[in-house]
Structure 1
Amino acid sequence: MRLASRLDNLGTETAFAVAAAAADWKSRGNEVFPFHLGDLDFPLADHIVEAMNSAIADGKTGYCPGPGIPELRAALAEDIGSRRGMTFGPEHVTVMTGGKPVITKFLQAVMNPGDEVLYPNPGFPIYESQIEYLGGVGKAYRYLPTDDGFAIDLDQVRDAITDRTVAIIYNDLQNPISAESTDAEREAIAALAQEHDLWVLSDEAYFEMRYEGGSTSIASLPGMAERTCILYTFSKKFAMTGSRLGCAVAPTELGRVFSTMNTNDESCTTHYVQWAGIAALQGTQQPVADMLDTLRGRRDAACEIVNSTPGMSVETPRSTFYLFPDVTEAIGLVGADGLADFAQQALHATGVSFCTRNHFGRPQPGEDRSYIRFAYSGLSEDKIRRGLGDLRDWIGSHA
């Protein structure tokens, strides 16, 4: 029996492959420090749990409207709009089972087979996977190292746009590299989108996961609201990764399409989880503030150790919960044969498990530095210090 040929183009979130290797090493009796997966080890806030349980007890366990219950759509429109200096109504909001479905449904709505879509690389691997799976042509754009972190190669973006380009995926506060656009960079992307009449998917999963400063949505810039789809998720801010709740905020012409897609794909998002989402938005935000304080401490500890490790360096990011250190010299110090071998040696020598640059898109021509990604969202500060301390000692023993 034959399967569909398009499956050859379907990728995956490769952090899960790293997780399998880490689990195997742990099953042999070794301690593992799981820096590979960006999950959160914070419990759901009590008021969110209570709202979910109350909704179940009240019988909110059956089908509900495909685009989401009216109460949640209204709450999302108010919260997302007010935090971006914009005005949205419930008609702009389509509730979905997390953030990932927004990527797929956006591409299905705006991209025909053979159309081109620009996407960040390194970047969230599902962008590349879904573009190619759905028959599009992915055009990767890169980031360049600067004294303040990473910046989009705007010249490459300009050069990549053709008559076949229909959209650009833009991930400010970026996974995996924690890059944050300057106002000028954000405005340049907006200008290109308008000049070439492109749709924009603005992945704002980490919009409020920040330690200093404030976030700006590209959708709030002049001329952008009518061409931008915002990806919003409860997973990060509210530590609701397993609840699978998110939404698209988009022009109504896209929203109507998303609603129909929801009906075709999953009927609706779990009813009682949506009531938990309302409680998350409208209830106390103290658990969010407490989580960010804890993550800030983890970030600072991780950066301190990474920057004291021979052959490794990283800028201190103001957002997300990832570090993307340059490990080019460290690879040479331990005599590893590239990133994959470095990761395996590190796991077996220290128990530290991490993703590499190669897990976030195919490397582009001209890349001459090597990077890895540490996610510090799921480890206590003590484990961060022990794990990265062991990694530092191991690399240092070869210096």
Structure 2
Amino acid sequence: MKTAKRASHLSGEGAFEVLARVQALETQGRDIVSFAIGEPDFGTENHVTEAAVTALRGGATHYTPTAGTVPFRQAVSRFLRRERAVDVDASRIVVTPGVKPVLFCAILSCVDEGDEVIVPSPGFPAYESLVRYSGATPRPLPLREERDFVVDPDELESLVTPRTSMIILNSPHNPTGSVLPRPTLERIGEIAARHDLWVVSDEVYASMVYEGAFTSALSVPSLADRTVVVDGFSKTFAMTGWRLGFGVMPEPLVPVFTTLLTNSVSCTAAFTQEAGIAALDGPQEGVKAMTDSYRRRRDLLVAGLNALPGLSCRLPKGAFYVFANVTEACRSLGLASAGELQRRLLDEAGVAVLARNCFGVPFEGEEGHFVRFCYATSEARIVEGLARMRAFFSQTS
């Protein structure tokens, strides 16, 4: 049977492919230290789960308004005011079953076939995949190691053409852990205003900033009225399986998003929205404790990686990823790519990582080999993973 051509533009995610390989090896009895999948190893807090159970027992099993219940949208508004110092009316907030529908709706609402969209490179693979699916062309925006993987506004503007309609940002950033400082966001806002561009700001890791303060695109005046903020509960509240996200957008986009969601998912489950309210309005000590734990793990992993032969990495300022330069390690092992190193570390050392090719098409002139380590795992497993890699490199050198 014939399938639609547009389906060929969608790509998978390397993280889930490696996860499947890890699980296959584990069923064979192998012990794998996984730095691959970007999922908190913490459980959802009890008061959040109890709120969902109470809602279910109270009959929260029916349709909800497509854009979300009023109490949920108001809770998001309160959270943004309290945690990010931005004042957003609840009418500008739309709930979704997970974060990716916000990305999907933003691109389908604001990008036409034949347009160009500037996407971070390396970057979360769904950006490039969804842009291609929409009929537009992704333009890679280089994130360079010598700039700590922070956007160069001048380089960004050099990529703008008459066909450019959108810029996608991600801060804190996956896979590099970089964080956009406010002056850089202000420069990007000037560029977006000058060229009349939409901006999508993926802020799903906003709670995980280790040095300095997080700046939301919504707090930059030149960005506030042209930006769709993408956020959710998976990382901040360790709720990956709950599939709960939200978008914040200019008022005129709300009915467009709502219509797209009506035609795709209808609505987000009532009881998960009740759980979301409990997470947003409830105690935040668990979020802080989780972030403090990630900071300790980051420091442990970065120090360990920089002590390994042929590896070096910058200290990430946010998220829970380290983007390590493995160029010298690949050269000493006679490997042509980080992908080959990824495979050998998994098969021979029992350590799972993700190579650079899992994060979009390389930008023009890109040099070096990189792999991503996710440190959302215990300190004991980080120590074990480092020991296995040390043994691997000593045996193969």
Cα distance per residue 1:151-178 (max 9 Å; x no partner): 2243332121111111110112100011
What is the rounded CA distance, in whole Å, between the counterparts of 2:387 and 2:324 in structure 1?
15
Equivalent position amino acid for 1:391 in 2: M
**How many angstroms does 1:28 deviate by?**
2.6
* Runs of at least 4 residues off by over 6 Å: none
Deviation at 1:26, TM superposition (A): 2.4
What TM-score comes out, normalization by structure 2 length? Answer: 0.97
- Map 1:1-399 to 2 at 5 A: 1-146=1-146, 149-377=148-376, 379-399=377-397
Judge conservation of contact 1:78–1:89 (CA < 8 Å) in 2. no
**Amino acid of the residue matched to residue 179 of structure 2?**
E
2:184 aligned partner, one-letter code: E
Amino acid across the alignment from 1:31: D
2 CA distance for matches of 1:396 and 1:306?
14
Does the CA-based 8 Å contact 1:123-1:361 persist in structure 2? yes
Q: Between 347-356 and 269-278, report the one with greater CA deviation.
A: 347-356
Kindly provide the amino acid, as one letter, of the partner of residue 59 in structure 1. G
How far is the alpha carbon of 1:5 from its aligned partner?
0.7
Q: Distance in 2 between matches of 1:389 and 1:152?
A: 34
How many residues matched? 397
In 1, distance between residues paired with 2:70 and 2:204? 22
1:335 Cα deviation (Å)?
2.7
Structure 1 distance, partners of 2:364, 2:28, is 39
Q: CA RMSD, aligned part only?
A: 1.3
Give 1:387 deviation, angstroms: 1.1
Q: Distance in 1 between matches of 2:70 and 2:221?
A: 28
Structure 1 range deviating more: 237-246 or 14-23: 14-23
Residues 216-272 of structure 1, C-alpha deviations (whole Å, 9 max, x = no match): 112211222110111111111000011010100111101121112221111110110
Checking the alignment, whether the CA contact within 8 Å between 2:217 and 2:229 is kept in structure 1 is no
Return the offset for 1:4. Answer: 0.3
Q: Secondary structure at the match of 2:221?
A: coil
Aligned residue for 2:149, secondary structure, equals: strand
SS at match of 1:117: strand
The 1-side partners of 2:372 and 2:345 are apart by 13
**Counterpart Cα distance in 2 of 1:182 and 1:287:** 26
Distance 2:76 2:109 in 1: 22
- Contact 2:180 2:215 (8 Å CA) reproduced: no
Question: Is this contact kept in 2: 1:343–1:356, CA < 8 A?
Answer: yes
For 1:381 and 1:18, the matched residues in 2 are separated by 22
CA contact (8 A) 1:77 1:92 kept: no
Distance (whole Å) between structure 2 residues aligned to residue 360 and residue 217 of structure 1: 23
Q: Distance in 1 between matches of 2:365 and 2:387?
A: 32
- Normalising by structure 1, report the TM-score: 0.96
CA drift of 1:345 comes to: 1.1
Once the 2 structures are TM-superposed, how far is the Cα of residue 278 of structure 1 from its aligned partner?
A: 0.3
Q: Deviations over 1:175-230 (max 9, x none)?
A: 00111123332222111101100011010011111223210112211222110111
Deviation at 1:95, TM superposition (A): 0.5
The alignment partner of 2:317 has SS state of coil
3-state SS of paired residue (1:265): coil
CA–CA separation in structure 2 for the residues paired with 1:218 and 1:200: 9
Quick one: distance in 2 between partners of 1:385 and 1:44?
25
Q: In structure 1, list runs of 5 or more residues that go unmatched.
A: none
Query: What's the CA shift string for 1:262-317, capped at 9, x where partnerless?
Result: 21111110110000000001111111112112212211211121011011111221
Distance 1:79 1:184 in 2: 24
